[in-house]
Structures are given as C-alpha cells and as structure tokens.
C-alpha cells in the first residue's frame, strides 16, 4: 500500500459515492450536481494516475461543458425543485436495475481484477508523459483526430437542425411548405433578440 | 508506484452504477447521467490500461481524449432530441405511454400556455409551438 494507493482510494471513494448519489437522489438538480462532484473527483483520479492532460481535459469538457449542458437541459424542461418521486421507475424495476448493475460490476470485476492483479505502474518515472501524448495525437493518431473535429461539427449542425425541428401538435397547418418560411423567420427573430 | 487493480475496481463499480442509473430513472436527462457514468468507467479503464509499463503508441490517454470528445458530441445531440420531445409532449418521462395520434392537441399545458401571447403578437397560433425553439438553440 503505497502513498499513491492511499490517495487513489480516497479519491475513488469520493467518486463512487457521488456517482451512487447522483443515480439515487430524489431531487433532479441534485443529481446533476452530484454528477459534477463525481466527474471532478474522477479528474483527480486521472491526476493520481499520472495523466495530467486527460485530467485537465476531463475538467474542461465534462465539468465545464457537459454538466452545464445537463443543467441547462434540466432548466429548459422545467425540472421540479425539491424531492420528486416521479423521476424514478417503480420499485420492482429499480430492483431489477440494481441487480443488473451489481451483475455488471461483478462481471467486470471478475474479468478485470485478475487481469490487473499484481500489475503496478511506476509513476515517478512515467512511461507516457504529456509531450509523448501530444506527439502521438499529432503523429500516429492524426487522422482520427481530424475526423473527430468533423464529428464535432456534424454534431453541432445536427443538434441545431434537430432543435429547429417543429413537431406540430395542432396539425391543421401542418404542410411543409407553409412551415419553412415561418421557421426561418423564427430563427431570425431569436437571433436578433439574442 | 500504484497498484492498478484499484482503478480497475473503480471502473467496474462506475459501470455498474451507470447501468443502474440508466434503468432506474424515468427522467430522460437523468438517464443521460447514467450514460455519462458508463462512458467515464470506460475512460478510467483506458487510462488504467495505458499506464501499464510498455503500453504502445500512448494509446490509453489518446483514446481517452477521443472518447471525451465523442461524449461531448453525443450529449449535444441527445439533449437537442430531449428538448424536441419536451416541446412535443410537455414532459420527458420515458415510461409514459407514447402519444401516437397525429393531429389533435393533447393536454400538456406549458406549450399551450404561451398561445395567447403569440396570438396577440402576430396572429399565427402555430407560433406558440415554435416559440420554445429559441430557447432550445442555446443548448444545441
């Protein structure tokens, strides 16, 4: 049990506990906030494992962007404040979910723990430093990296197109041709407002 | 020096918690929280495997960065779809009986609540449906 083992156990306990709270709490907004704690302490776990770059990207992208997006989505869908029993499935379905989750953990642990038993990483002389990661990203992995930027662009445009999608509930005026000019003017109006 | 069985165990635990989160929630946004936990379990496993001595091509951390990027793209599109669902049905309850009827307006209140204001402004009732799109584009 080295010092890094003890530090990782502490950080990992915080991560696991906050993950458990984020899936079991009855308050919708608290779930997103516990997710923030979980992802932040997971960034700490990456730091303990010696991957500073991954830890910082985790902080920037997950904690800085994804959790904020989740919070915005909760606000835009009028999440109830305070304890709310309606966000969970019935108890028998939760019991089945707990059994399946425990089975997943047991399966993965029974596979991974023998695989990693006795394996140690000497992080004082690390094998993968940040300059090496940078050289790998822009050397070996440069084409997947460029493809990912295209993926991000496609996701951005796709999300914009989906959020422009108008599903009529009062389908009396549902013709496509009549719909599109209105949609465009709606976009222009919101641009001017923002 | 660190024993790598600890992060492997944490990864297994996070994956199990994420599976429970996906199965035990009705709110669509909270289902996504479970999906994020599963993705983070995969990330932690990649970093753990990448910090074994002799891991080639820096594959562990690089693939982790790629997975983080893909997760950002995934959640952007998913939240846009959830917002469209909220505008269409008035709730994001995934266990609700789906409304498969085509044309008649149903009883979900908040979209209808904006109808008088939109009517007064330019007299087209269908603007009431389109109005939350302005809010949705901030997330997309």
Determine whether the interchain pair B51/A182 forms a contact, defined as Cβ–Cβ distance below 8 Å.
Answer: no
Phi and psi (nearest 5°) for B123? 75, 10
Is residue A83 classed exposed, middle or buried when 0-12, 13-18 and 19+ CB atoms within 10 A define those classes?
exposed
Residues of A in contact with B132 (CB under 8 A): 76
A183 and B CB contact within 8 Å: yes
User: Can you tell me which residue has the tokens 């307006």?
Assistant: B105
Model pLDDT, residue B97? 77
Determine whether the interchain pair A23/B36 forms a contact, defined as Cβ–Cβ distance below 8 Å.
Answer: no
Tell me the average pLDDT of chain B: 78
Query: What does the alpha-carbon distance between residue B70 and residue A147 come to, in Å, rounded to a whole number?
Result: 11
- Name the packing angle between helices B59-89 and A142-164 (round to 10°): 10
Whether residue B61 is contained in a domain is answered as yes
Whether residue B41 is contained in a domain is answered as yes
B117 and A CB contact within 8 Å: no
Contact A145/A137 with Cβ under 8 angstroms?
yes
Q: Which of B29, B47, B127 is closest, CB to CB, to A73?
A: B29
Whether residue B49 is contained in a domain is answered as yes
Residues of B in contact with A159 (CB under 8 A): 76-77, 79-80, 139-140
Determine whether the interchain pair B18/A28 forms a contact, defined as Cβ–Cβ distance below 8 Å.
Answer: no
Determine whether the interchain pair B66/A145 forms a contact, defined as Cβ–Cβ distance below 8 Å.
Answer: yes
Model pLDDT, residue B101? 67
Residue B56's domain comprises 5-89
pLDDT tens-digit readout, B38-60: 999 999 999 999 988 888 888 99
Q: Which two tokens stand for residue A45?
A: 């776990």
Number of domains present in the structure of chain B: 1
Q: How far is B50 from chain A (nearest CA, A)?
A: 8
Query: What does the alpha-carbon distance between residue A71 and residue A59 come to, in Å, rounded to a whole number?
Result: 16
Whether residue B119 is contained in a domain is answered as no
DSSP string, A77-120: TTPPSS--GGGB--HHHHHHHHHHHHHHHHHHHHHHHHHHTT-E
Whether residue B50 is contained in a domain is answered as yes
ipTM field:
0.83
Whether residue B127 is contained in a domain is answered as no
Mean pLDDT value of segment B11-22: 96
Query: What does the alpha-carbon distance between residue A189 and residue A179 come to, in Å, rounded to a whole number?
Result: 15
Distances (CA, A) of B123 to A8, A144, A183, B117: 62, 51, 15, 9
Determine whether the interchain pair A133/B138 forms a contact, defined as Cβ–Cβ distance below 8 Å.
Answer: no
Q: How far is A91 from chain B (nearest CA, A)?
A: 9
* CATH number, position B80: 1.10.287.3510
Q: How far is B46 from chain A (nearest CA, A)?
A: 11
Tell me the average confidence (pLDDT) per consecutive run of 10 residues in chain A, 194 residues long: 92 96 92 95 94 94 92 87 80 94 96 90 80 92 95 94 74 43 40 37
Whether residue B14 is contained in a domain is answered as yes
Whether residue B114 is contained in a domain is answered as no
């Amino acid at each position: 049990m080295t010092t890094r083992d003890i530090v990782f156990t502490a950080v990992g306990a915080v991560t696991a506990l906050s993950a458990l709270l984020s899936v079991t709490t009855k308050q919708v907004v608290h779930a997103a906030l516990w997710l923030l704690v979980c992802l932040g302490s997971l960034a700490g776990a990456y730091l303990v494992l010696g991957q500073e770059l991954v830890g910082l990207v985790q902080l920037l992208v997950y904690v800085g962007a994804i959790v904020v997006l989740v919070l915005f989505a909760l606000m835009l869908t009028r999440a109830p404040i305070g304890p709310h029993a309606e966000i969970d499935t019935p108890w028998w379905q939760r019991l089945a979910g707990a059994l399946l989750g425990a089975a997943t953990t047991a399966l993965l642990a029974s596979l991974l723990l023998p695989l990693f038993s006795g394996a140690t990483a000497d992080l004082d002389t690390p094998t993968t430093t940040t300059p090496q990661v940078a050289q790998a990203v822009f050397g070996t992995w440069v084409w997947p990296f460029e493809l990912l930027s295209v993926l991000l662009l496609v996701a951005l445009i796709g999300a914009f197109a989906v959020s422009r999608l108008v599903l009529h509930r009062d389908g009396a005026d549902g013709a496509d041709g009549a719909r599109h000019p209105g949609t465009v003017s709606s976009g222009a109006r919101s641009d001017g407002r923002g | 020096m660190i024993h790598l069985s600890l992060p492997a165990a944490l990864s297994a635990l996070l994956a199990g918690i994420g599976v429970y989160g996906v199965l035990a929630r009705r709110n669509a946004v909270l289902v996504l929280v479970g999906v994020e936990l599963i993705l983070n379990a995969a990330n932690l496993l990649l970093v753990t495997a990448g910090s074994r001595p002799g891991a080639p091509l820096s594959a562990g951390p690089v693939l982790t960065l790629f997975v983080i990027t893909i997760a950002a793209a995934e959640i952007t599109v998913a939240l846009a779809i959830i917002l469209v669902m909220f505008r269409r049905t008035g709730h994001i309850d995934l266990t609700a009986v789906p409304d498969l009827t085509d044309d008649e307006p149903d009883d979900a209140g908040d979209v209808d609540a904006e109808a008088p204001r939109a009517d007064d402004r330019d007299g087209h009732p269908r603007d009431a449906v389109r109005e939350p799109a302005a809010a949705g584009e901030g997330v997309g």
